Amino acid sequence: MSDFSKNAKRLIPGALISVILIAVLLYFVDFQTMWESIKNANYSILAGSAVLSFLWLMGRAKVWQTLLRDKPKYSDVLFSAGEGYLLNAILPFRLGEVGRVFLLSRKSGMTFSEILPTIVIERVMDLLFSAGMLLIGLTYVTDAQSSAQIGYIIGGVMVAGLVMMYALARNREWALDVFHKLSKRWTFLEKVGGSFLESFLTGLGVLTDGWLFLRFLFWMTLNWFVAIVAYHLMTLSFFPQAQFHWMFFVLGAAAFGGAIPALPGGVGTFEGAISGALFLFTGDQSTSLAVALTARLYNYLNSVVIGGIGLMREGQTLSGVYQQLMNLRNKEQTETPES
């Protein structure tokens, strides 16, 4: 009962944010207009974006397999990635991230601790990409006259971030030693970032292998490009005047919106981010929400199909995986104070 109460309390802030954003969207949206936009959408273009949504997930699996140094089979990585996104869409606390690590470790021969750092570095790189696109997109939203200069600044910041991560990767032991010394003085540091830092620094090892990192960067860039094209086609089907450069801001906003605490799958925050970003370009909140709901549908579609197939192949159920993940999480929490 105490574990249930604790988990329920952790859900409350995210649930409140989701409910508030959903209420705001419902207040400003005209449902008749939204329904008309859905009926009049170009479904031929929508079909193309649906295909690209599956290609995106397949590309994301290739990104992950590259980080794993091609040790697991691609099919195992693909189904594990789909299972992870399916779990994230349904379960709280972003358990899908831990879930795909757990599920891949059971069928790849790699250990949980070997796989976990790759998730950390993947997410850090996603953050860099989404921040860069959001800032580039801002130049179009604000009609900035010096967009080229801003682009150079953003590029410089991203390169500086990579250089800093490379330095940390080359001096992993030194960084850990400094962190442990600081955590002895401020004990809350160990609780907040101890396990994350070790996984992060281990994951940064990819930066010290030049060819591996270039391959990882290539697949990551291609994966984000596929996402941009998919969102552009999706938007074109509702807004024929949609410009390709809008997608930098829209996709960047969607990535950050999905990172805000919310109900499972980013319900409310994801739709609010996409529709809000599109509204700045179109002035049409109702049709913008229709685009956001379509993006939500596609996210469910590819994760349910690929993740569902993966679960059936392994004889797993969502409830069974959830129970295993909660047991794993509780075990880690009880072991942490003793370490």
Percentage of the chain lying above the pLDDT 90 cut: 39
Does an H or E element contain 197, and which? helix 188-203
* Residues present in the chain in total: 339
Among residues 295, 236, 284, 251, the alpha carbon closest in space to that of 34 is found at 284
pLDDT digits (tens, 9 = 90+) for 283-311: 999 999 999 999 999 989 999 999 999 99
**237/160 Cα distance (integer angstroms):** 38
pLDDT-derived band at 24 (thresholds 50, 70, 90) equals confident
Q: Identify residue 247 by its one-letter amino acid code.
A: M
Residues 6+ away with beta carbon under 8 Å from 287: 33, 34, 37, 238, 239
**3-12, 16-25, 152-161, range with the lowest pLDDT:** 3-12
Averaged pLDDT for residues 259-281: 84
**279/282 Cα distance (integer angstroms):** 5
Averaged pLDDT for residues 3-19: 69
**38-47, 55-64, 120-129, 237-246, range with the lowest pLDDT:** 120-129
**3-7, 25-29, 163-167, 268-272, range with the lowest pLDDT:** 3-7
Q: Which bin fits 265, alpha (ψ -120 to 50), beta or left (φ > 0)?
A: left
**152/139 Cα distance (integer angstroms):** 12
Res 339: pLDDT? 38
Global pTM?
A: 0.83
Res 337: pLDDT? 44
Res 267: pLDDT? 83
Averaged pLDDT for residues 4-9: 58
Whether 74 contacts 219, CB under 8 Å: no
CA atoms within 13 A of residue 78's CA, in its CB half-sphere: 15
pLDDT digits (tens, 9 = 90+) for 184-203: 777 666 665 556 666 667 76
- What's the CA dihedral at 56, 57, 62, 63 to 10 degrees? 80
Does an H or E element contain 313, and which? helix 285-313
Residues 6+ away with beta carbon under 8 Å from 334: none
Res 189: pLDDT? 62
Res 314: pLDDT? 85
Assess whether pLDDT exceeds 70 at residue 212: yes
Q: Bridge-partner residues for 267, per DSSP?
A: 263
Averaged pLDDT for residues 317-322: 80
3-state SS class at 263 = strand
pLDDT-derived band at 83 (thresholds 50, 70, 90) equals very high
Q: Who has greater pLDDT, 68 or 166?
A: 68
pLDDT digits (tens, 9 = 90+) for 36-60: 999 999 999 999 999 999 999 999 9
Assess whether pLDDT exceeds 90 at residue 12: no
Q: Who has greater pLDDT, 173 or 338?
A: 173
> Both ends of the chain: CA-CA distance in Å?
26
**267/289 Cα distance (integer angstroms):** 13
Q: Bridge-partner residues for 263, per DSSP?
A: 267
